[in-house]
Structure 1
Amino acid sequence: MTTISDAKVLITCPGRNYVTLKITTSDGVTGIGDATLNGRELSVASYLRDHVCPLLLGKDPSCIERIWQYLYKGAYWRRGPVTMTAIAAVDVALWDIKGKQAGLPVYQLLGGAVRDGVTVYGQASGEDIPQLLDDVGRILDRGFRAVRAQAAVPGVERVYGVPDGGRTGEQAGGGRPSVEGWDTGRYLNWVPRYMATVRQEFGHGFHLLHDVHHRLTPIEAAHLGKSLELFRMFWIEDPTPAEDQEAFRLIRQHTTTPLAVGEVFNSIWDCQYLITERLIDYIRTSVSHAGGISHLRKILSLAELYGVRSGAHGAGDLSPVSFAAALHVDLSVQNFGMQEYMEHLPPYQDVFKTTWTFEDGLMHPGDAPGIGVEYDEEAAARFAYDPKYLPVNTLADGSVHDW
């Protein structure tokens, strides 16, 4: 019987920090999974290295669901971002191995392709409206069918989603978080103005999205959704802090703008209420933060029963391993909605060799056996871990706000 003979944690920073789990079987087949938790990478690395990897040795790698339950139920301390990211890395690595053993891409093992390609949205931003329009035009010219639009808010310093001084808009080095400002009143007045300009300039022939990033109260989010209805948004994302799920009921009562949430969720239990009460339109849980391919499929199966579609998180804080795994799931589920695509920073391609393709706004994971990503350990060793953190958000009076 083939067994797991080795499991090791690999940390590298080709543009940003990534944690990868590599599992090797007794017959020499390898599989990789993404174990990156942005700003808390070493927590997952330790969880895997100290507590999970030793338990995998000698197990049958073909028993993916059995191993998943062993790691989830067997630990007693369930759920949470660290635990579920670690389990996800194991799960994806095992699916990668199974695909390689079968000589098939993972989406074929999930029932085959439901669609020819996966619709992805590009990220447009600007320090002002003209710069935003230039960026939207650039993305549409590349063939994207969907665009997320974010613009700096006048009078507010360093706003989420708008690059600042070469930063990605998410991470800052130096071992301490950067500080960003926030003013809800200015934001609520500004967003409808620039969305109107985007539609006036480019029309309605593409999907338009916006990320609120958990910044608003329920009634503020309802006001925003109402003010954007004319522009036929594909969704507004994370309008309120995700912990308060009842908030979405109030938002629903005031606006028909579609709602998306879930990138900070880690299990089906985090989103069960939102789905079964039909309080959201898109569930944005990701492969890497919600227990892997196995668990994400369960979430999406539940969502399908209630008319909720997928909209998986796909920011650059997830490695190419995670993004490839997401494409396999996207291709194989009936209730797919949209896939976020934030291109990874160079020189990521020195470490991660990918097979996915992009054409006419659609992505495909490719037909290489497994998930279609190979990891170059020798190249990875050249990029040492660099402590980085997500920003902290504050109001004008210095109090901490949701980031």
Structure 2
Amino acid sequence: MRIREARVIVTSPGRNFVTLKIVTDEGVYGIGDATLNGREKAVASYLEDHVCPLLIGRDARRIEDIWQLLYRGAYWRRGPVTMRAIAAVDVALWDIKGKAMGAPLYDLLGGKSRDGVTVYGHANGRDIAETTDAVARYIDLGYHAIRAQSGVPGLDKPYGVSKDKHVYEPADAALASETIWSTPEYLRHTPRLFDALRTSFGEAPLLLHDAHHRLTPQEAAKLAKSLEPYDLFWLEDPTPAENQESFQLIRQHSTTPLAVGEVFNTLWDCKDLIQNQLIDYIRATIVGAGGITHLRRIADFAAVWQVRTGCHGATDLSPVTMGAALHFQSWVPNFGIQEYMPHSAETDAVFPHHYSFADGMLHPGDAPGHGVDIDEALAATYPYTPRQLPIARLRDGSMWNW
């Protein structure tokens, strides 16, 4: 089964997505996601100019060999552009293999380890009262795990608070918009949020929170310790993880579980965090970390150290990645949880899929491959629209981590 065609489809049904479609000489095709929020065209160019020409004529069944070709053969390894391009190829090839064998992707990995994939939703509001109402709505929808974010008094655009209560898309302008951040105000406010939530809902809901790389290690330790009474499922991205040793300081002060990794590209980004047991959940994604082939290596390594998966699942990943992730998470032994932000109706129409939500869990469906397709005619009606993520500054104008 030889690769006859490999082409890139860029579409924007409410937000931008980059999709790779690989077609074999037997007529079987697969699709993979290569979206990099705010830098989509960079990955599209990398695929079109450098990767797609390498694929033509190769045996589509040799997934591992092609992965190694694109990783080792490039010499310039790693990085978000390279690894998302590799991920798109990898997922498309797994999709082809599943279709050719008439089997859902989870069966190719070894079969299901669970009956459904527990997911968490995103509750947010302009203040604690609005966030409390949003958590209640998610509980009514059947969610057992909920991430809670709230507006912070004195900050106009805090992270994680959406104007649209159903779809959160932070990439909001052709040129990056600017927001103001204040760590002291955030540190005072956040424990109050979770105190209110536990008072309202008791101990049953699994509550999560995302600090979004905004804190120094010492500040992160202070927040993690202050949240201990509220028994969070995890505190996400408490501090930037370029310096993996910085998580030691947080661990010294708190038992609040830590999750990190949505910006990681390879095992090397999280090796020390995992083997030193400085985190509890690894959030690397299929699209961000080189596809199923490489994420499986990360998960297997993490299992040795009792670290569980918690894949990023925001709307900046297309339904293709969500479908593939659900097959992966149905199989992976050391599963933790899956983030779930529903896409817009326009996106769902462009990417018809077999996965579904019920009782706090997503189910991948039993279609061969990963169960997600693309309506190319409909996709063509949504042209690329330049959008970038915001940036953050402190009150004195200093650049900060968004």
Normalising by the smaller structure, the TM-score range is over 0.9
CA–CA distance in 2 between the matches of 1:110 and 1:168? 32
**What is the SS of the residue equivalent to 2:366?**
coil
Cross-structure match for 1:138: 137
Instruction: Letter of the 1:231 partner, please give it.
Output: Y
* Equivalent pair of 2:143/2:359 in contact (CA under 8 Å): yes
Deviation at 1:242, TM superposition (A): 1.7
Q: Which residue of 1 aligns with 2:76?
A: 77
Match of 2:9 in 1: 10
Task: Give the secondary-structure state (helix, strand or coil) at the position aligned to 1:6.
Answer: strand
Amino acid at match of 1:276: Q
Q: Distance in 1 between matches of 2:150 and 2:345?
A: 24
- Paired with 2:334 and 2:179, the residues of 1 have a C-alpha distance of 36
Partner of 1:375, secondary structure, is coil
| Residue in 2 that maps onto 1:31 | 30
Q: Which residue of 1 aligns with 2:193?
A: 194
Aligned to 1:353, what secondary structure does the other structure show?
coil
CA contact (8 A) 2:319 2:348 kept: no
Counterpart-to-counterpart distance in 1, 2:128 and 2:220: 22
1:389 to 2:388 alignment: yes
Matches within 5 A, 1:122-133: 122-133=121-132
- Quote the residue 1:171 is aligned against: 171
Q: Distance in 2 between matches of 1:105 and 1:334?
A: 17
Q: Is the 8 A contact 1:160 1:169 kept in 2?
A: no
The question of whether the paired residues in 1 share the 8 Å contact of 2:169 and 2:315 is answered with no
Give the Å deviation of 1:165: 7.1
Letter in 2 for 1:101: A
Mapped contact 2:33–2:320 kept (Cα < 8 A): yes
The normalised TM-score by structure 1 is 0.98
Unpaired segments of 5 or more residues in structure 2? none
Quick one: structure 1 residues 169 and 12, their matched pair in 2 at CA, closer, same or farther if it must change by over 3 Å? closer
Quick one: distance in 2 between partners of 1:243 and 1:345? 33
Counterpart-to-counterpart distance in 2, 1:250 and 1:138: 36
> Aligned partners of 1:169, 1:186: CA distance in 2, in Å?
24
Q: Which residue number corresponds to residue 106 of structure 2?
A: 107
Spell out, residue by residue over 1:85-120, the C-alpha distance to the aligned partner (whole angstroms, 9 max, x if none): 000000000000000001011001000000000000
In structure 2, the partner of 1:209 is 208
Whole-angstrom distance in 2 between the partners of 1:77 and 1:251? 33
The 2-side partners of 1:85 and 1:165 are apart by 28
Tell me the amino acid that sits aligned with residue 277 of structure 1. N
Q: Is the 8 A contact 2:31 2:92 kept in 1?
A: yes
The Cα shift of 1:164 comes to 3.6
Per the alignment, in what secondary structure is the counterpart of residue 251 of structure 2?
helix
Contact 1:262 1:271 in 2 (8 A): yes
Deviations 1:238-272 (A, max 9, x none): 00012121110110000000000000000011111
Q: Is the 8 A contact 1:34 1:318 kept in 2?
A: yes
Deviation at 1:214, TM superposition (A): 0.2
Aligned to 1:358, the other structure's residue is in SS state: strand
Distance 1:350 1:309 in 2: 32
Structure 1: 5+ residue runs without aligned partners?
Answer: none
Alpha-carbon deviations, 1:26-71, whole Å to 9, x = none?
0100100000000000000000000000000000000000000000
Deviations 1:192-244 (A, max 9, x none): 00111011101111210000000000010000000000110000000001212
Q: Secondary structure at the match of 1:75?
A: coil
Residue in structure 1 matched with residue 311 of structure 2 by the alignment: 312
Q: Provide the aligned C-alpha RMSD in A.
A: 0.9
1:168 positional shift: 2.9
Is 1:53 the equivalent of 2:52? Answer: yes
Shift of 1:385: 0.4
Match of 2:345, SS state, is coil
* SS of residue matched to 2:352: strand
1:96–1:169 CA distance, 2 compared to 1 (3 A): closer
Preserved CA contact (<8 Å) 1:16 1:345: no
Normalising by the residue count of structure 2, what TM-score does the alignment of the two structures yield? 0.99
Correspondence for 2:270: 271
Give the secondary-structure state (helix, strand or coil) at the position aligned to 1:385.
Answer: coil
In the alignment of these two chains, the number of paired residues is 401
Q: How big is each residue's C-alpha offset from its partner over 1:294-353, in whole Å with a ceiling of 9 and x where there is no partner?
A: 000000000000000000000000000001111111000110001000111231122100
Aligned residue identity for 1:37 = L
Matched residue type, 1:249:
Q
CA distance in 1, matches of 2:236, 2:351: 29
In 2, the alpha carbon distance for the partners of 1:251 and 1:160 equals 21
Partner of 1:357: 356
Per-residue displacement from partner, 1:338-383 (whole Å, max 9, x unpaired)?
Answer: 1000111231122100100111111111000000001000000000
Aligned pair in 2 of structure 1 residues 22, 165: CA closer, same or farther (>3 Å)?
closer
**2:156 counterpart letter in structure 1:** E
Aligned to 2:237: 238
Displacement of 1:189 in angstroms is: 0.3
Q: What residue is the counterpart of 2:21 in the other structure?
A: 22
CA contact (8 A) 1:96 1:371 kept: yes
